[in-house]
Structure 1
Amino acid sequence: WVQGFSNKSFGFINNQTVCYPCGNYILFLDVETKKTTALQCQTGPVGAFAANASSEVVAFSDQKLNPIIYIHHFPELNKLTELKGSAQLDYTLLAFSFTGPYLASYSSIPEFVLSVWNWQENILLCSESQPGITATSLSFNPMNWQQLCFVGESSVTIWHIERIEDEHHLKRNPVELPDEQGSISPHEDLFFPVSRSDDPYHGPDLPVSAIAGLV
């Protein structure tokens, strides 16, 4: 019943309409009436794709040199804006924030750049390069648009979007993953180190700076 669905990205644009890319088109399927509406990408096949049900907008990139991100409103399908970044070949992932007019994008080789946009104002807020890292998933924290979850082929990173007045910066916070046996390798806590048998200090656990003044 889903014509042309390629088992890739899809999303709900409202409570009863699902949308997904199909070749040069974004198809909108009303799950109640089974009516399909098509939005054509005029410049070639659709690349990355994301939908936002709260704002009823869809974002997609085209697959061509120096790709552009287009944002359209449903059901009129009118174009709201175009986002032009530094990507040379392709965007692999797009993600809308749950609150606010924000969109995250990730480009493929050669840049591998994570970018955060204010799509309503057509402003690039911040970006960060991750050379050689292929992404598989990208999503905003539903409760906080200033946190992004970035999933790579062998890593998970929480990116914090820090703001100082009108400037925004991305701060990396890697997530430690368990090994094949499901355990996490212990690591030394440099702030509150574990006491060892040969440690001459037998008092309470204190920061390294405090211990240095006591021993």
Structure 2
Amino acid sequence: MPTNEDAATSSSRVLDESFFYPQEELSRPQLQGEMSRDLVAFSALLGFDSKKRNNLHYLDDHTLLTSAGNNMATMQSKYVFGLGGGGVGAIAVHPSRGFFAVGDKGNKPNITIYVYPSLKVFRVLRQGTERAYCSLRFSNDGAKLASVGASPDFLLTVWNWRDEQTILRCKAFGQEVFNVQFAPNDGGFLTTSGTGHIRFWKMASTFTGLKLQG
């Protein structure tokens, strides 16, 4: 049945494809009493978070993207740290394999879109959830990105990610959501699944505007 969804209220804008964010401007500021980052050097990150869902993706035929992964041909690793400082909640790879998305954990976390293989910050999606992202997914045509937040809001958001705009958003469910997925042949249909539920969604035009019906 229809849900309490709303369409984007942000002003329409188109971002230049040549625009990139300086990473140092997006990094979490140093906290009072925190050791200076100049005094420590990263050595290695070992392990794989097997409890995190959708935590393994191909970037190309030889490279895996995980919260801790490496290039299977060279066995070399390259590390991209979450810019919010609270950890990584979810990841997704664009169908072209030229971009990947990282959803952070923390207070009002962002989704950062990186270009692969340069790892430049291409886009930053803001205000999609309160505490953490639990699932991200690009549509098959690559035009849209869907995100689901963890507790307490469980917010489902559909983004025009290239222009950092919200298309639609609503509460996905009242309990944990494990996965969001676009229909293979139609980016106007989605499914969410989680604790005790599978839910089907349709982006529908109504007399009051575009709505998510589920």
The answer for the alignment partner of 2:63 in structure 1 is 17
Residues 1:32 and 2:78 aligned together = no
> What are the within-5 Å matches in structure 2 for residues 1-215 of structure 1?
3-7=46-50, 8=52, 9-22=55-68, 27=69, 29-44=70-85, 45-130=87-172, 132-163=174-205, 168-172=210-214
The DSSP-based 3-state class of the residue aligned with 1:120 is helix
- The code of the aligned residue for 2:71 comes to D
Count how many residue pairs are aligned between Structure 1 and Structure 2.
165
- The code of the aligned residue for 1:87 comes to T
Whether the 8 Å CA contact 1:50–1:94 is kept in 2: the answer is: yes
User: Which TM-score applies when normalising by structure 2?
Assistant: 0.70
Deviations 1:81-130 (A, max 9, x none): 11012422111111111113211011122222111001011110001114
- Once the two structures are overlaid, the 10-residue window that deviates more, 93-102 or 120-129, is 93-102
The answer for the alignment partner of 2:24 in structure 1 is none
Deviations 1:172-205 (A, max 9, x none): 1xxxxxxxxxxxxxxxxxxxxxxxxxxxxxxxxx
- Measured in 2, the distance between the counterparts of 1:86 and 1:120 equals 15
- Measured in 2, the distance between the counterparts of 1:70 and 1:62 equals 8
Whether the 8 Å CA contact 1:12–1:52 is kept in 2: the answer is: no
Segments of structure 1 that go 5 or more residues without pairing to the other structure are: 173-215
- The code of the aligned residue for 2:58 comes to F
1:157–1:40 CA distance, 2 compared to 1 (3 A): same
1:100–1:52 CA distance, 2 compared to 1 (3 A): closer
- Measured in 1, the distance between the counterparts of 2:82 and 2:72 equals 23
- The code of the aligned residue for 1:21 comes to S
- Once the two structures are overlaid, the 10-residue window that deviates more, 35-44 or 141-150, is 35-44
Segments of structure 2 that go 5 or more residues without pairing to the other structure are: 1-44
1:36–1:145 CA distance, 2 compared to 1 (3 A): same
Identity over aligned pairs, percent: 25
1:111–1:36 CA distance, 2 compared to 1 (3 A): same
The DSSP-based 3-state class of the residue aligned with 1:6 is coil
CA-based RMSD of the aligned residues comes to 2.1
- The code of the aligned residue for 1:32 comes to A
User: Which TM-score applies when normalising by structure 1?
Assistant: 0.70
More strand by share: 1
Whether the 8 Å CA contact 2:82–2:88 is kept in 1: the answer is: yes
The answer for the alignment partner of 1:213 in structure 2 is none
The answer for the alignment partner of 1:204 in structure 2 is none
Cα distance, 1:131 vs structure 2: 5.0
- The code of the aligned residue for 1:123 comes to Q
If asked which structure has higher relative contact order (CA below 8 Å, sep 6+), I would say 2
The DSSP-based 3-state class of the residue aligned with 1:30 is coil
